[in-house]
Structure 1
Amino acid sequence: MTRRRGFASGVLAAAAAVAVSEALAALFNLRESPVLALGQTVIRLTPGGIAEAIIGVVGTKDKPLAVASVLAAILLLGGLAGLWWSTRRTWSIGLVIALVVAAAAAVIGRPYAYGAGVIACILAGLVVVAVLIALQPGEAVTESGRREFLRTAAVIAVATVIVGGAGELLGSRRRRRQEIERVRESLRLPTRGVAVPSGVDFGVKDQPRWLTPNDEFYVIDTVLSKPLIDPNEWELRIHGMVDREMTLTYQDLLDRGLKDAWITLCCVSNPVGGDLIGNATWSGVPIKDLLEEVGVQAGADALLSTSADGWNCGTPLEALMDGRDALLALTMNGEPLPVAHGFPVRQVVPGLYGYVSATKWVTDWEVTRFQDFSAYWTQRGWGPLGPIKTQARIDLPRGSAEAGKVMVAGVAWQQQVGISSVEVRVDGGPWQKATLAKVPNLDTWVQWTWQWDAEPGEHTIEARATNSEGEPQTSKIADVLPDGATGYPGIRVSIT
């Protein structure tokens, strides 16, 4: 058996094992396959700095990258097992066992672990061994042996595709996703489409709208497979440092009535001038009302919220009790929350970055103290409080423009504080005051525009915002770690 053939047989064995594990996940009605469980474990164990660097490079494509990386690692390790099979059989089998143990541990470590998932891992390992036995029977390298190898490999490859395809077609997750979408679309919530306030959108061509459509709103989370939760099965448990523990259902929230609020959300991973930010109208139940109902005990300063997938964050209680529009949201832009944005229920808290406030698919609240826990991102190096910083962004012009009157436009924000002015400068010259649009409250971004008499050449445009308390945006350049990027946004423009 040549080294090339040995490696190829190992890769094919690993691919067959992945296909079988996916099919078994569908057969056993698992919420997550072993491959996805492995991917989630990789994400969980990735240090904060590395995770941030990856997000900075690939943005919202980090989840497909994680799955692709896990699959590539499985195939490469399978190839290594194939290389060793003829000459170092014990090492090869040991590697297969190590992969099975790692996958089983990943499955067991998930919030909704099932014994059937471990069985799928074990059977996948047996498939690897069976394929290696079939493809490397130990015969000498001959022409007839080569033809037999190709025939057997072709049969296994076809079977792998069929089994993998059947797993996808018959997958319980596919059926569940379709079922949840039907439930979501059939909901008739007591909400209405909230009209965009007058004067908030300049209507400048090619500038992003003041209202961000749901399908354009940024999505950042740590899940490879979004939780699929029927609202009739959803519950939120409230416990910890409270006078009265309480469990809420979806209908309980509806019975309390829903409040509408325009709120801009942004991610702490958003670089200066970045697009991990969006503005929408949210409808939900004020969090303050619920916390008052359960009775927060003296000494508590944090709310530890946990998602259905096990992700958690700590939110300062002060930000939830000071009267701002902190909501347990059920709708986004007048319709039930999309699954990607937390259906059926998520948190929305203006003035804080999402990593300390915006828990999607939320199912558990513990009133506690910051000193008593370490949440998902804070234990990876992010700050515990996460207040929004004063920021501006330049959206126009893009790349190049013709000499003469050129529209420079963008947005600025600091939720819970508001923006009083935005200034623009070209090539390090004097700051020029931009025109601001209207806003309905202090919790949304504001559009701004400035007319530039552009002359031919290469130019740099910068912007800075000043908040309503008179504090200007800082020029100090800082990375997103530990609590948000700072600096002036700048773009290069070629004027012809």
Structure 2
Amino acid sequence: MAAALRGYRRGMLAAIAVALVSTVVAAFTLGSSVLEPAAQAVMQLTPVAVANVLLQRLGVAARPLALLGALAMLMAIGGSLGALLAGVLAVLRHVPPGTDLARRRTRREMGMESAAVLGGAGAIVGVSAADAARRDRLVSGGGRQVFPFEPPLARVSGFPEAGQSPEVTPVAQFYVVSKNAQDPYLDATLWRLRIDGLTRQSIALTFDELRALPRLDQYVTFQCVSNPVGGSLMSNALWSGVSLAALLERAGPLPDAARVVFSAPDGHEESVPLELARRPENLIAYAMNGEQLTRLHGHPARVLLPGLYGFKQVKWLTHIRLAPETHRGYWPRRGWTDEAVIRTTARVDLARAENGQIRAAGMALAGGRGITAVEARVVSSDGRPGEWVPAELHTPPLSGMTWVQWRALLPPPTGVAGADVEARAVDGEGRPQENALNGPFPNGSSGYHRLTVKA
């Protein structure tokens, strides 16, 4: 038994050593470490229900935890092999039971091996993080200026309020969510975009050929489907690219074509109906806020489908395929919505007491439907809601596909000290925001967001 335990520990150490060496080699060669396919295997083997809960609870922390999960899996495999080998050798050598001295030595070894395990895991995470940052800097063209860009000036005096999100999110602050342990590294000089399937002709475009096509610029707000009510996984940018509809027409969809499938090298594949893909606002984007996409945001090119949740906006796009009606994408196969239409939401960014009133401000989004109204109210600490007060909107919006800043002055509650502010919005089609509180799975979160008033 002692020999098997010792073999298990040594097998774990060997697995960590292999993973660390592989990670370092991958960092120098810009290749893939042994942890990446292992992490993908962990994600694939995780039951859908469990994976959805983890995605909602962990958000952007899911990626490094997937790496640690892959390391744990490799350690378990290495430990099992080590224990098996040690057991076989013990039988062959007829090793007698350990003495007290041997047991004390075993305890010392366990302490040293535990420290080695923690140190090795920390080194792997550190090297992986440094490697990711280095690759981001090395991506050919990523982050280069395409044209000079400055966020537009406010159209209404006083916007934004102190503590309110800016209308245009800086690239470095734009939210990032990925299912990958390590995102694809694509060189723009070697990149090709293929368009084929149920088409009259196949098309292959280089990055330079894509950029030579007429450029379209438009403001679009993204939201992640896993964003909770009031969450931060919502950002806005000026996107630049070429018309998706024009590329589809150039390929020539056949009569049987019903869906457009977007694919990336990381295995992410999503589709939308052909009719939806032909909307004039859809782009194959290669820049945001005047700069070429960074690797985190899909360099060299990604899909832009305004009004749909972020998982439909496939990053690192390399293939567009026209397919029959039966196709379902990566996340819909795991139970998430296929329509992926962004729900109307109002977020409270700030709520503070000010000169006998409560000043509140935030953001409202309804995907591609726009926002026509926002209301806010105070809810006292004992649960008594006040009257809804119409909020002032920062109009006109940057586009009909972006969020809108709002602000309001609200009367404080009477008779109690504490209070919250909650808000609701009405979309451009006159439909009010849903009051029912629902988590992100499967159709995106809903419900009124509340924020506690600061004195």
Q: Give the TM-score, by structure 1 length.
A: 0.79
1:57 matched residue in structure 2: 57
* In 1: Cα distance, 2:283 partner to 2:304 partner: 5
1:406 matched residue in structure 2: 358
Alpha-carbon deviations, 1:262-285, whole Å to 9, x = none?
110111111121111100001111
2:392 matched residue in structure 1: 435
Which letter maps to 1:404?
G
1:485 to 440, 445, 448: 445
Which letter maps to 1:12?
L
- CA drift at 1:64: 0.3
Which letter maps to 1:421?
A
Matched, 1:359 2:319: no
Cα distance change, pair 457–89 in 1 and its aligned pair in 2 (3 A): farther
Which letter maps to 2:363?
V
Q: Is the 8 A contact 1:22 1:167 kept in 2?
A: no
Q: Is the 8 A contact 2:136 2:294 kept in 1?
A: no
Alpha-carbon deviations, 1:377-409, whole Å to 9, x = none?
011012222112211111112xx7567222111
2:408 to 424, 436, 450: 450
* In 1: Cα distance, 2:437 partner to 2:22 partner: 47
Alignment of 1:325-404 (within 5 A): 325-356=281-312, 358-371=313-326, 373-397=327-351, 401=353, 404=356
- CA drift at 1:38: 0.7
Which letter maps to 2:75?
L
2:223 to 266, 287, 296: 266
Which letter maps to 2:337?
G
- CA drift at 1:314: 0.7
Which letter maps to 2:224?
C
Q: Is the 8 A contact 1:304 1:315 kept in 2?
A: yes
Matched, 1:421 2:373: yes
* In 2: Cα distance, 1:209 partner to 1:452 partner: 22
1:228 matched residue in structure 2: 185
Alignment of 1:236-255 (within 5 A): 236-255=193-212
2:259 matched residue in structure 1: 302
Instruction: Name the SS of the counterpart of 1:221 in structure 2.
Output: coil
Alignment of 1:90-169 (within 5 A): 138=95, 141-142=98-99, 143=101
* In 1: Cα distance, 2:34 partner to 2:371 partner: 48
* In 2: Cα distance, 1:228 partner to 1:153 partner: 39
2:433 matched residue in structure 1: 473
Which letter maps to 2:16?
A
* In 1: Cα distance, 2:108 partner to 2:132 partner: 34
Q: Is the 8 A contact 1:264 1:279 kept in 2?
A: yes
Cα distance change, pair 242–147 in 1 and its aligned pair in 2 (3 A): same
1:8 matched residue in structure 2: 9
- CA drift at 1:259: 1.3
Q: Give the TM-score, by structure 2 length.
A: 0.85
Cα distance change, pair 22–150 in 1 and its aligned pair in 2 (3 A): farther
* In 2: Cα distance, 1:425 partner to 1:282 partner: 34
Which letter maps to 1:257?
P
* In 1: Cα distance, 2:342 partner to 2:128 partner: 45
Alpha-carbon deviations, 1:314-368, whole Å to 9, x = none?
1222222132x21111111111111100011111111111223x01000000012
Q: Is the 8 A contact 2:175 2:235 kept in 1?
A: yes
Instruction: Name the SS of the counterpart of 1:370 in structure 2.
Output: coil
Cα distance change, pair 375–140 in 1 and its aligned pair in 2 (3 A): same
1:289 to 241, 246, 249: 246
Instruction: Name the SS of the counterpart of 1:454 in structure 2.
Output: coil
Q: Is the 8 A contact 2:349 2:361 kept in 1?
A: yes
Cα distance change, pair 175–493 in 1 and its aligned pair in 2 (3 A): closer
Which letter maps to 2:315?
K
Q: Is the 8 A contact 2:422 2:448 kept in 1?
A: yes
Mean alpha-carbon deviation: is it higher for 431-440 or for 401-410? 401-410
1:111 matched residue in structure 2: none
Q: Is the 8 A contact 2:3 2:87 kept in 1?
A: no
Q: Is the 8 A contact 1:421 1:436 kept in 2?
A: yes
1:120 matched residue in structure 2: none
Cα distance change, pair 392–175 in 1 and its aligned pair in 2 (3 A): closer
Q: CA RMSD for the aligned pairs?
A: 3.7
Q: Is the 8 A contact 2:140 2:188 kept in 1?
A: no
For these two proteins, the number of residue pairs brought into alignment is 444
More helix by share: 1
Alpha-carbon deviations, 1:202-252, whole Å to 9, x = none?
121111111111111111121111211111111011001211211111011
Instruction: Name the SS of the counterpart of 1:416 in structure 2.
Output: helix
Alignment of 1:78-93 (within 5 A): 78-82=78-82, 85-87=85-87
* In 1: Cα distance, 2:160 partner to 2:286 partner: 29
2:39 matched residue in structure 1: 39
- CA drift at 1:472: 0.7
* In 2: Cα distance, 1:156 partner to 1:272 partner: 41
* In 1: Cα distance, 2:200 partner to 2:286 partner: 26
Q: Is the 8 A contact 2:357 2:412 kept in 1?
A: yes
* In 1: Cα distance, 2:117 partner to 2:287 partner: 44
- CA drift at 1:410: 0.7
* In 2: Cα distance, 1:481 partner to 1:450 partner: 31
Q: Percent identity?
A: 33
2:135 matched residue in structure 1: 177
- CA drift at 1:149: 10
1:123 matched residue in structure 2: none
Q: Is the 8 A contact 2:350 2:451 kept in 1?
A: no
Matched, 1:461 2:421: yes
* In 1: Cα distance, 2:277 partner to 2:30 partner: 36
Cα distance change, pair 82–207 in 1 and its aligned pair in 2 (3 A): same
Alignment of 1:196-235 (within 5 A): 196-199=152-155, 202-235=159-192
Cα distance change, pair 145–20 in 1 and its aligned pair in 2 (3 A): farther
Instruction: Name the SS of the counterpart of 2:16 in structure 1.
Output: helix
Q: Which runs of 5+ in 1 are unaligned?
A: 93-132
